[in-house]
Amino acid sequence: MQLDFKVKNESLLVNFNGELDHHTAKYVRDKIDEAYADHNTNNIVIDLNNLNFMDSSGIGLLMGRYKIVTQKGGNLSIINVSPRVEKILKMSGILKIVNILDTDQADKFLRE
């Protein structure tokens, strides 16, 4: 798993590249938490465009980041979600609390 971090529109943008599973979840969690603390932003936007696979460890990772972000008064959003990953997110119920930005919203966010 490779991660790329940028600050855009007062949000930490996290680009995933690879697989998010029980083998990579701790590494990803630690890197996101470190970058979130270093950049002192309220929001996290996770770009799943290059995510190849996600299991329940990925759901746990997202839930944990949601908790951290909302404690600071921020939001967690997800962009560029494949239909396969969106199905997993829907089944988990996480979409009731985490925003998925549609293509137009994601494009606008990434262009600004």
pLDDT digits (tens, 9 = 90+) for 36-59: 999 989 999 999 999 999 999 999
> How far apart are alpha carbons 98 and 57 in whole angstroms?
16
* Ranges under pLDDT 50 in the chain: none
CATH of the domain at 35: 3.30.750.24
Amino acid sitting at position 90: K
> How far apart are alpha carbons 42 and 50 in whole angstroms?
24
**Torsion angle of C-alpha atoms 48, 34, 36, 112, degrees rounded to 10:** -50
**Residue 57: predicted pLDDT:** 95
Q: How many domains are there within the chain?
A: 1
What phi and psi values does residue 54 have, to the nearest 5 degrees?
-145, 135
Domain limits for position 88: 2-111
